[in-house]
Amino acid sequence: MPETIENPTVPSPLPWQAEQWQRLGAQWRAGRCPHALLFSGQPGLGKRRFAEAFAALALCEQPRDGLACGDCRGCRLWRAGSHPDFLRVEPEKPGGPLKVEQIRQLGGFVGRTSGREGARVVWLAPAEAMNVNAANALLKNLEEPAASVIFLLVSDSPSGLLPTIRSRCQSVAFPAPSEEAALRWLHEGGLDGQSARSALALSGGAPLLALELVEPEAREAREQFLADLIALAQSAEAPVAAAGRWENPGEGIELSQLLKFWQQWLAQMLRARSCDLTADRQVIGLLQRLPGRGTESLRPLFGFSDQLAEARQLLSGGANPNKRLLLEDLLIRWAKLYA
């Protein structure tokens, strides 16, 4: 993928996605593209952008340099959101489920003939937001694929998908880029120095998420959430009251993201104690308040980290758990760590 050639009117893959793009592009040019692709990896790596870029390429009538041209009729229709051979399927509201009614609409789309005699593309994200009924409805389409239809599934948590769906897709995994590559990209986006390193560490190495974390609203929510965790550790806050405030964190941030920050703070605590590495001053304060001494004091943290991971899995799957009860349980368990 030539990094110097980019049409700003259509999406292009990110620098750390070059290998996946070259491999998939070669399959596309050879006419061997699978009928279903599953793009997976942690949030903030640009999977959706990659899927958008590939959808644009598949619908482009005159690709240039391995990318959609941005100028042909197909590109203009796609950019305007009116391409007859492109169907976008996503939750009706952020963080909501993908409903079976939404998946059933695929029947009419995949059953008709393309007016352009080209590919038809179904873009679906987040795939793990499907409940069992929706997943089974999608499976019927994947089991008997219509000619020229390409399914693009995007997932932060592919383990939340039915094994039968995963087995019918070619998996395209997106690992986090190297720290050097991520920091270079953040620098080009205007974020540099310690701010970039701190945001990247908190994002788990995901550059797009790191960029979001420095936005004022996200930073304020994150700092207030950490302050509430500290207050709980000091017995200065009630878990139920805190859960009421954070059940719906607000615009620009989701509960699953707050739980991920919580996991990152736990990881900093564990590294600081086991490796004598420095960490954020507030995180060190939480570590010092833990009852007990030595590595034994860290044992409960490992168990709690597993509980956070399970909670995030529930939120990202199609089970649609009661967020208030889930958060209350976690905050009560957290406060007990310091009792």
The model's pLDDT over 84-106, given as tens digits with 9 standing for 90+, comes to: 999 999 998 877 788 899 999 88
Contact 120, 113 (CB under 8 A): no
pLDDT at residue 1, as a whole number: 34
pLDDT digits (tens, 9 = 90+) for 145-200: 787 899 999 999 898 899 999 999 999 999 999 999 999 999 998 888 888 888 88
Going from the N-terminus, what domains does the chain have, and what CATH number goes with each? Answer: 15-173 (3.40.50.300), 215-337 (1.20.272)
Handedness of CA 17, 22, 23, 27 (dihedral sign): positive
Report the chain's mean pLDDT, rounded to a whole number: 87
**Predicted TM-score of the model (pTM):** 0.79
Between 5-14, 200-209, 236-245, the lowest mean confidence (pLDDT) is in 5-14
pLDDT at residue 7, as a whole number: 54
pLDDT digits (tens, 9 = 90+) for 245-282: 898 887 667 888 888 889 888 888 887 766 655 557 78
Contact 237, 227 (CB under 8 A): no
Is residue 330 over pLDDT 60? yes
Q: What average pLDDT does the segment 32-49 reach?
A: 94
pLDDT digits (tens, 9 = 90+) for 210-244: 988 888 888 888 889 999 999 999 999 999 999 99
Q: How confident is the model at residue 3 (pLDDT cuts 50, 70, 90)?
A: very low
Q: Higher confidence at residue 63 or residue 114?
A: 63
pLDDT at residue 279, as a whole number: 57
pLDDT at residue 69, as a whole number: 92
Q: What are phi and psi of 305, to 5 degrees?
A: -60, -40
pLDDT at residue 328, as a whole number: 95
Share of the chain above pLDDT 70, in %: 92
Q: What average pLDDT does the segment 106-122 reach?
A: 82
pLDDT at residue 269, as a whole number: 82
Burial of 214-242, coded b for 16+ CB within 10 Å and e otherwise, reads beeebeebbeebbebbbebbeeebebeeb
Q: How confident is the model at residue 8 (pLDDT cuts 50, 70, 90)?
A: low
The secondary element (H helix, E strand) that includes residue 170 is strand 170-173
pLDDT at residue 151, as a whole number: 97
DSSP 294: G
pLDDT at residue 215, as a whole number: 84
Bridge partner list, 150? 121
Handedness of CA 124, 125, 130, 136 (dihedral sign): positive
Q: Higher confidence at residue 211 or residue 316?
A: 211
pLDDT at residue 94, as a whole number: 73
pLDDT at residue 110, as a whole number: 84
Q: What average pLDDT does the segment 119-128 reach?
A: 93
